[in-house]
Amino acid sequence: MATENAENNSFFLSVQRNFEKAARHTIFDRGILDQIKACNSILRIKFPVKIGEDVEVIEAYRVQHSHHKLPCKGGIRFSMEVDQEEVMALAALMTYKCAIVNVPFGGGKGGIKIDTKKYTVFELEKITRRYTSELCKKNFIGPGIDVPAPDYGTSAREMSWIVDTYSSLFPNDINAQACVTGKPISQGGVRGRTEATGLGVFFGVREACSFKEDMEKIGLTAGISGKRIIVQGLGNVGYHTAKYFQDAGATLVGLIEFDGAIYDENGLDVDAVQAHRKATGSILNYAGAVSMSDPAQGLEKPCDILIPAALESVIDKNNAERIQARIIGEAANGPLTSEADEILQSKGVMVIPDIYLNAGGVTVSYFEWLKSLSHVRYGRLEKRFSENMYKELIDIIESTTEKQVSKLERKMILRGPDEIDLVHSGLEDTMIGAYREIRDIYMAEPGVEDLRTAAFICAINKIGVAYQELGIFP
């Protein structure tokens, strides 16, 4: 587990090792590769916040990994595990992630080293606002510079404090709302951002499972329906991932939280488990399921697909051998150490890598950023126009065929797109397209052993070309 600094160091090294494994398959000079790899700017700050009668010194970071495209983009996490190495690793992953899904941003990441449970909402607001004003002072936030978003321990609430602080410091900036994404709808957010990462994970795994020949290689049939799934982490990403799989006919056999795991081979209902958790404070002792007080045990239970959706390094060299899943979908950032990756590889497990699979969040963040810059809701201009066109089309069909379409058919066809429809379909298209790009590299490139290496090659190729075309200052 990522509790010690040394292991976080290895998280950053893991990312660098994965990069190098892929770099061998690209054509770029060493200098360009080193520039792609490097963290461009690192901000480490300490600031005082009055908590009760005392003053507390808060440690925080913002790392801009790459400036080959601007703004930099990536979440802000609130956690006691935050340190410079962790934020650097996460910022680097953001760069590769954005390139893979063709989102025109450089990678960034922020972190505040706090235990959110120790503070009241008012205190968290004070910390977030002070952090934002520090970012403003140092030029580490802005619609064209660096655009944060939610991550582990943060949500739309924190984003609304950030946008409000930024806007009050730059009242004349007409694009101020684009300084952060993952905002509440009332503050300029986009519909579909909350569930975006989980939905993207679902679209990505569904796409991977749609190739019959790939599934046969790992002893599975194509499709999602009937697959046994375990999800680790019932936060925003894990909950939505579990829900989409369940709705698509998969059997949710296991759920894991920080205080334990539950397993039922007949299937769990994620909403009923959430209700039980709300009532009792824990997912443990859910009716009909086996409870395990050690969460790590839950990862090792029988299933087809394991989705780690919490923190990094949860599968390492100590437990990788015991993992029974045939597919691991990395909803979290860096859930496998590089040693675990190798062990799973030798067991023939298909690992769908984080830098592709959890890119749904930043993809919809991109849609939100565009919305904030354009100052108009998606669908506002075309919805009525589309409905009128469809109506005319139905009228023509009816008059030429002399047949009436049913009321239900008419209702279905006449619907122009709302914001949520456009966001979901844009996300679906992005996830499908990116998977195919990665798979094509994996199939075509000799010596590429896994999807992660293929995904890194895909990212390096795009960023390398961007650097070459950008030109480097003499």
Residue 200 beta carbon to ligand GLU: minimum distance, rounded to whole angstroms: 9
Q: Which of 73, 113, 129, 326 binds ligand GLU (CB under 6 A)?
A: 73
Does 191 contact ligand GLU by CB under 6 A?
no
Find the binding residues for ligand GLU in span 364-393 (CB under 6 A): 365
Smaller CB separation from ligand GLU, 93 or 268: 93
Smaller CB separation from ligand GLU, 90 or 255: 90
Please state, in angstroms and rounded to a whole number, the distance separating the CA atoms of residues 350 and 287. Answer: 32
Residue 74 beta carbon to ligand GLU: minimum distance, rounded to whole angstroms: 5
Nearest to 68 by CA among 28, 31, 36: 36
Residues labelled catalytic: 109
Does 101 contact ligand GLU by CB under 6 A?
no
Residue 451 beta carbon to ligand GLU: minimum distance, rounded to whole angstroms: 18
Does 149 contact ligand GLU by CB under 6 A?
yes
Please state, in angstroms and rounded to a whole number, the distance separating the CA atoms of residues 368 and 14. Answer: 31
Please state, in angstroms and rounded to a whole number, the distance separating the CA atoms of residues 178 and 107. Answer: 16
Residue type at 170 in one-letter notation: F
Long-range Cβ pairs for the range 249-255 (8 Å, 24+): 249/224, 249/225, 250/224, 250/225, 250/226, 250/305, 251/226, 251/227, 253/228, 253/229, 253/301, 253/302, 253/303, 254/229, 254/230, 254/298, 254/301, 254/303, 255/230, 255/231, 255/283, 255/298
Residue 148 beta carbon to ligand GLU: minimum distance, rounded to whole angstroms: 7
Find the binding residues for ligand GLU in span 192-211 (CB under 6 A): none
Nearest to 214 by CA among 61, 442, 7: 442
Q: For residue 385, count other CB atoms closer than 10 A to its CB.
A: 10
Smaller CB separation from ligand GLU, 66 or 333: 333
Does 151 contact ligand GLU by CB under 6 A?
yes
- Which distant-in-sequence residues (6+ apart) come within 8 Å of 230 by Cβ? 252, 253, 254, 255, 256, 263, 298, 299, 301, 303, 305, 306, 307, 325
Does 295 contact ligand GLU by CB under 6 A?
no
- Which distant-in-sequence residues (6+ apart) come within 8 Å of 346 by Cβ? none
Q: Which of 71, 75, 143, 335 binds ligand GLU (CB under 6 A)?
A: 75
Q: Strand, helix or coil at 38?
A: coil
Does 333 contact ligand GLU by CB under 6 A?
yes
Site string for ligand GLU, 337-366 (x = CB under 6 A): ---------------------x--xx--x-
Smaller CB separation from ligand GLU, 93 or 289: 93
Find the binding residues for ligand GLU in span 234-293 (CB under 6 A): none
Q: Are 162 and 147 in contact (CB under 8 A)?
A: no
Please state, in angstroms and rounded to a whole number, the distance separating the CA atoms of residues 78 and 60. Answer: 9
Residue 457 beta carbon to ligand GLU: minimum distance, rounded to whole angstroms: 20
Residue 152 beta carbon to ligand GLU: minimum distance, rounded to whole angstroms: 8
Task: Tell how many helices (H) and how many strands (E) occur in the chain.
Answer: 17, 12
Q: Are 276 and 320 in contact (CB under 8 A)?
A: no
Q: Are 288 and 311 in contact (CB under 8 A)?
A: no
Q: Which among 68-76, 79-87, 155-163, 209-217 is the span making contact with ligand GLU, rule CB under 6 A?
A: 68-76
Please state, in angstroms and rounded to a whole number, the distance separating the CA atoms of residues 111 and 63. Answer: 9
Smaller CB separation from ligand GLU, 181 or 372: 181
Which residue is closest to ligand GLU by CB? 75
Residue 312 beta carbon to ligand GLU: minimum distance, rounded to whole angstroms: 11
Residue type at 284 in one-letter notation: L
How many residues at the interface with ligand GLU, by CB under 6 A?
Answer: 11
Smaller CB separation from ligand GLU, 260 or 353: 353
Q: Which among 6-14, 23-31, 69-77, 445-453 is the span making contact with ligand GLU, rule CB under 6 A?
A: 69-77
Give residues in contact with ligand GLU (CB under 6 A).
73-75, 149, 151, 181, 333, 358, 361-362, 365
